[in-house]
Amino acid sequence: MAVQKLLRILLLCIAVNYTTASVYRTGRQSPASIFTVGNGEQCLGTDRSTGGVCLSRNQCNTQGGKAIGFCGVFATCCSLNACDVRTNTKVAVFINPPLSRESSGLECSYNVEINNNNICQMRIDFETFNLAPPTTVEAVENVTQRPGYTCRNDIFQVTNLQANSDILPPLCGDNNGQHLYVRVNASTNSRHIRINFKIADRSSQPNLPQATWKIKVTQLECFNTLGKYRDGIFEAITSSLPSTPLSSSADRDEYLIAPPGCLQYYPDRAGAFESFNYNRGAGPYIANLAYATCFRRTPDVCGIKLTAASFEMAMRNDENLFLDTDCQCNPVTQGAPQSEDYLFIPEAETADGLRGSKYCGTSAANQIIASTPPGPLYVHFHSDNLVSDDVPESGYRFNYNVLNNCYLKSNF
């Protein structure tokens, strides 16, 4: 009897661990299981109409949530809509409190404490993110240039960063589906980050859209010593195997760990990315940004193909190709302020043979671009603090595919 009981416990642990591992590996919702331990996925309460997120009972309590149903033997459907929450759970989900014209004009903060000493990054996914858009000053007669679009009403900010060496931009507008990475260090005195929403008063500004958000914060552990052997064929084999009860969280997190210096990271071999507040092509993008969006480079990958779904950035004038020096001026010869918004794509070439690294204006619109740098795969976005009348700054959206043979035109 004791042996049978031990086997049952072992099988239960394997099932639970496999469910958890599949969430970290793929980022997709695992099939419904009675062994669910709380994966942060959406669920419905017992009334079948109230929405929540699936969390362990402890996670729900520590995040100030309210249990509204069940989503497995070990998990509860948790309604999270409180502010000033402090948590150290591996995965945390935060949802805006009920907002009305009378209750808006508030600050909502979440303190996320480092879960354990192996945590090196936090990934913040904006499953829902709708704030007031960035704005600029009103146009003045006979003045064609104004300050760029910045977040003046609703503001999202991450603070208390490692040794103040990292600067994360304030965000606003429509950022559904976006994400960003925060570098952390468990050895420093500051062992938490602070996520803050500052919401403008809607009673005095009734034309602002209602603010809503649902963000998921995943704490990622740096990979263990076995991680360095996960290359090529071995990686392809082991990544498809279920984790065992002896697998570490760091081993499961390895797929999501971003290279140093990346604000965004896309580990899948194909997908799409866009500028902040792309807003389905309506924009505008936010001023004073400078960040890298990175892609996973495995040993078989030699480059990346970018297919522009939309590309519309500021430019200096209509008499150039909107490439390289057309997009950024030399300070010695700059003279009067001119646009320096651009997307930097290293070692890039369009399908029709146009070569360049900095793209602005509409130079990347309707283009297929191959980037084959010798090092990391990334693009770098830069926006200045200048907007010119009649020059749209809606932003960009690209579909991407990594390339495993950069010498065959069929890949391009």
> What does the pLDDT read at residue 181?
96
In a domain, 116, yes or no: yes
Q: How far apart are CA 236 and CA 224, in angstroms?
A: 18
Residues 305 and 206 both lie in one domain: no
Mean pLDDT of the chain: 80
CATH number of the domain bearing residue 322:
2.60.120.290
In a domain, 72, yes or no: no
Residues 173 and 296 both lie in one domain: no
The radius of gyration computed from the CA coordinates of the chain, to the nearest angstrom, equals 23
pLDDT tens digits along 310-339 = 999 998 766 666 667 778 776 655 566 778
In a domain, 355, yes or no: yes
Residues 284 and 170 both lie in one domain: no
Q: How far apart are CA 342 and CA 355, in angstroms?
A: 15
Residues 312 and 395 sit within 8 Å (Cβ to Cβ) = yes
pLDDT tens digits along 189-221 = 678 899 999 999 888 888 999 999 999 999 999
> What does the pLDDT read at residue 358?
92
**Three-state SS for 137?**
coil
Q: How far apart are CA 359 and CA 311, in angstroms?
A: 9
Residues 329 and 403 both lie in one domain: yes
> What does the pLDDT read at residue 162?
62
In a domain, 32, yes or no: no
Residues 198 and 293 both lie in one domain: no
Residue 240 has pLDDT above 50, yes or no: no
pTM flag (> 0.85): no
Residues 90 and 215 both lie in one domain: yes
Residue 92 has pLDDT above 50, yes or no: yes
Residues 175 and 308 both lie in one domain: no
Residues 393 and 287 sit within 8 Å (Cβ to Cβ) = no
| Domain hosting residue 173, numbered range | 81-229
**How many structural domains are present in the chain?**
2
Name the least confident of 129-143, 174-188, 214-228, 392-406.
214-228
Which of 229, 249, 282 finishes a domain? 229
